[in-house]
Chains A and B, each alone.
Chain A
Amino acid sequence: MQRKKTGQDRKRHNLRNYLQNNWQLYVLLLVPVAFVLIFKYAAYPGLRIAFMNYKPAKGYAGSPWVGFEIFQKIFRDKDFLRALKNSLVFNFLDLMVGFPVPVILALLLNELRFEKYKKVSQTILYLPHFLSWVIIASVALNLFKPETGLVNILLRNTGAIQQGIPFLTEKWHWAVTYLLIGVWQNMGWGSIIYLAAITGISMDLYEAATIDGAGRLRKIWNVTLPCIRGTMVTLLIMNLGRVMGSNFERLDSFGNVQVKDFQYQLAIYIYEKGLSGGNFSRATAVGLFQSLVGLILVLSSDRVSKALGEDGLL
């Protein structure tokens, strides 16, 4: 008994001592915590309108609770199902097409032997990452217009085609162009992380491989790639976790009436049904569904990544 009491006393004394020395840290943290509470957390109670038949004019108090009715409705809503399907398909394709390119680019850049040339081309390859989707889409529109776009003019001049290709105004062409522009925008920037991983590989491995008579391709295949496998797995899993997300700005910038069939994805659905259409309950329910599935995907990909012995993302 006696001993226990002094233990508690010491603890209390320690705590007082700790606070005396460190209370300022909590004062500093007050600002960011208050900030997220006001501008982020305060929005969570608004999620309840996914379970209400919310009418903006009546407000929260005047709108009736309807349970899961809205969710039942959205899963019968053709527009929602189309948006969901498009989101999943396009995000998956983005991943399939977009994932290998930065790896290959990093391998090429690493093999490049003219240092100055390498620096300059890296600077140029990173550029698209710094431009907004509006600018990228405006430039793309300028290049790919069927009549006046540079690409079509050049193709016509060489006689390869008679009529302009509707790169951005016919849905199948659009899908390909949209995906490839996404790859193009991210390839340089995406390669940075692999280049960093490659720099970490010990030169001894390459020397040993050279002594064993390995050529350039052999060394890439048997040394470089296995050494950056961890980074690749982590990034792949992280990106799989994001397969529910959709980038409103990218979709919005590349959108037009002719390609609506494919461009109609979750972010667009939420914006058009909710903010433009005034159907707040439905848009909130879809948003909540998207956030929840996204969270589950991120958590499980973190688990998988850690189970494989790689770095998690949390």
Chain B
Amino acid sequence: MTSAPAEKKASMFKGVNRVRVSDFVIAFVILLLSLTCIIPFIHIAAKSISSNTAVLSKKVYLWPVGFNLEAYASIFKDGQLTHSMVYTIWMTFLFTLIGMVITTLAAYPLARRELKGRTVIAFILMFTMYFSAGLIPEYLLYKDLKLLNTMWVLVLPLSFSPYNMLIMRSFIRSTIPDSLYEAANLDGADHFQILTRVVLPLSKPILATLSLFYAVGRWNAYADAKYYITTKSLQPLQYLLSNMVLNSGQDAVSLSEAAAAESTPEVLQAAVVMFATLPIMMVYPFVQKYFVQGTMIGAVKG
């Protein structure tokens, strides 16, 4: 955003020099680092669509050998992961929606400088970020609230992030000038109307960014599911994945025998990992820039 002119200036200035050997050295180092971020996934993707024999004889590197989709067929036939995926999408959607509503309701009033008691209210909202009651007291609280073993224990407790609220507050403060509030006031608008007709339409970029923060955070988290959920059908995708691939202890889950018989564990595991990774990989290129913008605003505190 603010970096655009500076960047242009920088590249113009650099343009004066000619390309040197050191430029290629730097480009090469960056290339190596970038490769460490994609090669592992290409390898697993290749493994997941290779034939069992090729994988067992360790012939698969970055390209599938003996093309074969049986592992994915078993995943769909088994249904556990597909069910969990649909459930996790729905749960993430609710979480994001509730989180955004609450964040907005806190960010707008706190962004208004005339609000009396701003500091106290901000302190109340932020304190839990720095001093948490800890796992057991929270567990007992959610038990008392009858949230354990329901989807809501994943949706409600984490759905307000003070950090996201701060980002939104900074955004509102820096983009909406006081004169606009005054103009709205003269037109007889009250705070509800200012929020819905002035602030929200002008805050679309930050609404998009923060929704993504909430959604990705929820999609990736599984500790709370491990703490609070024992019912299999209520476990989100990441937790199921952890039980399938990482955990060989008492909570271990596997695809039903009939489904698993058709592929070796190696291929099947690769397919399971890919199945859980693909949704993020598919949206990632499109949403990445919103994240960068959000962190920039978060870094410049208001």
Q: Interface of chain A, helix or strand or loop or mixed? A: helix
Cβ A43 vs Cβ B137 within 8 A: yes
Residue in B125, B191, B246 whose CB lies within 8 Å of A22? B191
Interchain nearest-CB distance for B125 vs A (Å): 6
Q: How far is the CA of A45 from the CA of B133 in the complex (A)?
A: 9
Q: Chain B residue with minimal CB distance to A48?
A: B137
* A29 touches B (CB below 8 Å): yes
Q: How far is the CA of A121 from the CA of B233 in the complex (A)?
A: 39
Cβ A134 vs Cβ B296 within 8 A: no
Q: Interface of chain B, helix or strand or loop or mixed? A: helix
* A114 touches B (CB below 8 Å): yes
* B176 touches A (CB below 8 Å): no
Q: A28-B191, A40-B133 are in contact. Are A192 and B295 (CB under 8 A)?
A: yes
Which residues of chain B are near A192, meaning CB under 8 Å? Answer: 292, 295-296
Which residues of chain B are near A105, meaning CB under 8 Å? Answer: 33
Cβ A287 vs Cβ B125 within 8 A: no
* A270 touches B (CB below 8 Å): yes
Cβ B37 vs Cβ A138 within 8 A: no
Which residues of chain B are near A188, meaning CB under 8 Å? Answer: 37
Q: A108-B26, A112-B27, A298-B130 are in contact. Are A135 and B33 (CB under 8 A)?
A: no
User: Which of the four size classes fits the interface of chain A?
Assistant: 35 or more
Interchain nearest-CB distance for A152 vs B (Å): 10
CB within 8 Å of B: which of A272-299? 274-275, 280, 283-284, 287-288, 290-292, 294-295, 298
Cβ A139 vs Cβ B3 within 8 A: no
* B83 touches A (CB below 8 Å): no
CB within 8 Å of B: which of A100-121? 105, 108-109, 111-115, 117-118, 120-121
* A207 touches B (CB below 8 Å): yes
* B204 touches A (CB below 8 Å): no
Cβ A25 vs Cβ B138 within 8 A: no
Cβ B138 vs Cβ A43 within 8 A: yes
Cβ A113 vs Cβ B134 within 8 A: no
Which residues of chain B are near A216, meaning CB under 8 Å? Answer: 22
Residue in B40, B124, B191 whose CB lies within 8 Å of A139? B40
Which residues of chain B are near A137, meaning CB under 8 Å? Answer: 246
CB within 8 Å of B: which of A133-148? 133-135, 137-143, 148
Cβ B135 vs Cβ A271 within 8 A: yes
Q: Chain A residue with minimal CB distance to B103?
A: A32
* A175 touches B (CB below 8 Å): no
Q: How far is the CA of A132 from the CA of B137 in the complex (A)?
A: 26
Cβ B9 vs Cβ A203 within 8 A: yes
* B187 touches A (CB below 8 Å): no
Cβ B136 vs Cβ A280 within 8 A: yes
Q: Kindly list the 5 A-B residue pairs having the minimum CB-CB distance in the complex, ordered from nearest.
A: A287-B134, A46-B137, A132-B220, A43-B133, A32-B106
Q: List 12 A-B contacts (CB under 8 A).
A: A22-B191, A25-B112, A28-B108, A35-B160, A46-B137, A49-B140, A134-B239, A134-B242, A138-B245, A270-B136, A284-B136, A291-B133
Q: Given A40-B128, A252-B223, 12 other A-B contacts at CB below 8 A?
A: A18-B114, A31-B105, A36-B160, A105-B33, A134-B222, A135-B280, A137-B246, A142-B269, A192-B292, A248-B223, A287-B135, A291-B131
